[in-house]
Amino acid sequence: MPLTIPQASWTSAKEVVSTSTAADVPIAPGRVEQRVLESDASLQYVVYVPSRGGAGAPILVTVHGISRNAWEQVSMFAPYAERAGVVLVAPLYEQARFPRYQRLSANERGESPVAVMEAIVAEVARTTGASGERLHLFGFSGGGQFVHRYAMAHPDRVAGYVVGSAGWYTFPDAQRRYPYGLRYSQRLKMGGFELGRFLAVPGWVLVGERDVHEGTAMRKTERVMVEQGLSRMERGLRWVDAVNARAAELGLAAPVRFEQLPRSPHSFRRSMRRGELGQRVFAHLFGLEENALRMAELGSTSSPGPEGRGTE
């Protein structure tokens, strides 16, 4: 069955970036827009509201990596959001201001990337009528780091999450200090997460089948290389295994699944075009029927954890 999804209307970022707030000029349905936060005009975000409007719609927060491609993510996800009736929100973390947003920790001015995201979500929910109580999350590369750590820190806020090709992970180990494990870090003021609540949140880790090399931007300290692996593929598999193993110890079902994206390197755009990333994200998080059917046709490579993968 061919996959047909209506296209959203969008123009170049240069034409749509606005200094208006959502209170001044309402967000236009069916159009990708870049806005500034009403409470702080120095903070920007990209948003898409489906043409039917946002009242009661779920929110998908999509988080960029170090390329800061928030516009690209929303633009390429917009046709799926239009079909599923989902509001898209992408915070834009400027490199100079939030150099380590991936770890959730505050910058030198005490500004929290989590608080920024929450303020943006609250504004979009208030002005569009979308439901901001529980969020759906997607992040690619550095954004995947942010997303899985946010799900660990705030599991009650998360309905489901998808991590795309993260460079490294926070493992479900209470003996390791954050951001390597769950133990509280006095320096970062972060950690001490309640593992049981996190293990109740469904998640997916998606990595391109060609994303098997050491990237120039990938964390390559000896500690991470030894503990997590040499590639994003290996690190994603190890993290999924570790999370599902902890769930099994507590008598819980495996909460995280792993999938390879066919013909995809470490590129959001190519993963969308070659690896059916958009279909997979919206099938997993929103059960979009056409996507689920397309997924069945593709025969996706997936793993529910240690028990789901054979050994050589």
Write down the CATH number for the domain with range 13-307: 3.40.50.1820
Q: What are phi and psi of 120, to 5 degrees?
A: -65, -45
Instruction: Write down the pTM of the prediction.
Output: 0.86
Please state the domain extents for the chain. 13-307
**Distance in angstroms (rounded) separating the CA atoms of residues 105 and 249:** 30
Residue pLDDT tens, the chain, 312 long: 333 333 444 333 334 555 567 667 899 999 999 999 999 999 999 999 999 999 999 999 999 999 999 999 999 999 999 999 999 999 999 999 999 999 999 999 999 999 999 999 999 999 999 999 999 999 999 999 999 999 999 999 999 999 999 999 999 999 999 999 999 999 999 999 999 999 999 999 999 999 887 766 777 777 777 677 889 999 999 999 999 999 999 999 999 999 999 999 999 999 999 999 999 999 999 996 554 445 444 443 333 333 333 322
pLDDT of residue 183: 97
Give 186's contacts (C-beta < 8 A, 6+ positions apart).
none
**Distance in angstroms (rounded) separating the CA atoms of residues 125 and 104:** 22
- pLDDT tens digits, residue range 107-165? 999 999 999 999 999 999 999 999 999 999 999 999 999 999 999 999 999 999 999 99
